[in-house]
Amino acid sequence: MASAEEGGSNVSRYIEHHLTNLKFDLSTMRFDSHADGFWVLHVDSLGFAVGLGLLFVLLFRAVAKRATAAEPGGMQNFVEMVVEFTDGQVRDIFHGKSRLVAPLALTIFVWVFLMNFMDLVPVDLLPATAAAMGVEYLKVVPTTDLNVTFGLSLTVFALVIFYSIKIKGGWGYAKEFLTHPFGWWLAPFNLLLKLVEEIAKPVSLSLRLFGNLYAGELIFILIALFSLGAGMSLMTLPLFATQLILGAAWAIFHILVVTLQAFIFMMLTIVYLSMAHETEH
């Protein structure tokens, strides 16, 4: 009984360790992974998100500076393919005039993809490396942090509101809340429906991305539990082989999830900005 309880405790600690952020409490100016509240920064999520964003900018900038029409290399072909793909999606969906939407769509797609792709890094590799350097907790997938996904979606939502007011005017934007879909006679009901519709945009964007990546990370952690605490015994090799097979199978499938979630976030951003540029005639 004691052995079973100890094994369950080890499993719980292992899962909790991999799902806990490295936190910095601004109110006390110290690292505290048990801290909570508005003034607590998730340093690992912010660090990986900013680092991957810089990687995207520097990589694409380097390719752009070295681009040549004579003998394009593999990286140039890949970057051009990604740019043409996102530009094609914008041209098909966005019918307004804006120099921001295409670069924004490219940035969102590549940045979210890179953050999602961190889920394919072996779950123990970076946390174990950090532990060897004295860092107790480390989450490496920024999009499994609700703060990051909400930050992205709220930024998109702010742009939607900005362009709605810019294109339609303050009164035109307010009029949508009062008259659609049932006209002036049901203005209070229209207002309620419109508020729910608008609030649903950032909520659905953030929760969809967070939920899919968090579930994917949790499955990788559960697969890693196969050989946890097995030690050196006759069961070690079969458990480790099972872990490798399941991990590889889930990783192959998860590549689709990683790419699809980045694509969906980009597409919905384009759709919302296109709706913001629509005007009544």
Question: In the chain, where are the structural domains located?
Answer: 2-276
Q: Which residues contact 167 (CB under 8 A, 6 or more apart)?
A: 96, 276, 277, 279
Active site residue 206: no
**Per-residue CA distances from 115 to 48, 107, 221 (Å):** 8, 12, 18
Share of the chain above pLDDT 90, in %: 62
Annotated catalytic residue: which of 153, 212, 227, 274?
212
- Identify the residue with better confidence: 165 or 278: 165
Active site residue 190: no
Calculate the average pLDDT of the chain.
Answer: 89
- Can you give the pLDDT at residue 230? 52
- Identify the residue with better confidence: 1 or 252: 252
**Cα–Cα distance measured from residue 113 to residue 129, given in angstroms and rounded to the nearest whole number:** 24
- Can you give the pLDDT at residue 159? 94
Q: Can you list the alpha helix ranges (DSSP code H) found in 94-186?
A: 101-117, 125-132, 146-179
Cα end-to-end span (Å), the chain: 74
Average pLDDT over residues 47-76: 91
Task: Name the residue with tokens 């752009």.
Answer: 64
- Weakest mean pLDDT among 26-40, 73-87, 150-164, 192-206: 26-40
User: Are 79 and 262 contacting, i.e. CB atoms less than 8 angstroms apart?
Assistant: no
Q: What is the pLDDT of residues 10-19, one digit of tens each?
A: 788 888 888 9
Query: Torsion-angle region of residue 3: left (phi > 0), alpha (psi -120 to 50) or beta?
Result: alpha
- 42, β-bridge pairs: 23
CA dihedral 231, 237, 242, 248 (to 10 degrees): 100
- Can you give the pLDDT at residue 96? 79
Q: Is the pLDDT assigned to residue 109 strictly greater than 90?
A: yes
Annotated catalytic residue: which of 9, 12, 27, 204?
204
**Per-residue CA distances from 56 to 61, 114, 132, 183, 204 (Å):** 8, 8, 28, 46, 25
At 8, the pLDDT band (50, 70, 90 cuts) reads: low
At 2, the pLDDT band (50, 70, 90 cuts) reads: very low
- Identify the residue with better confidence: 260 or 9: 260
Q: Is the pLDDT assigned to residue 172 strictly greater than 50?
A: yes
At 281, the pLDDT band (50, 70, 90 cuts) reads: very low
Active site residue 204: yes
User: Are 226 and 242 contacting, i.e. CB atoms less than 8 angstroms apart?
Assistant: yes
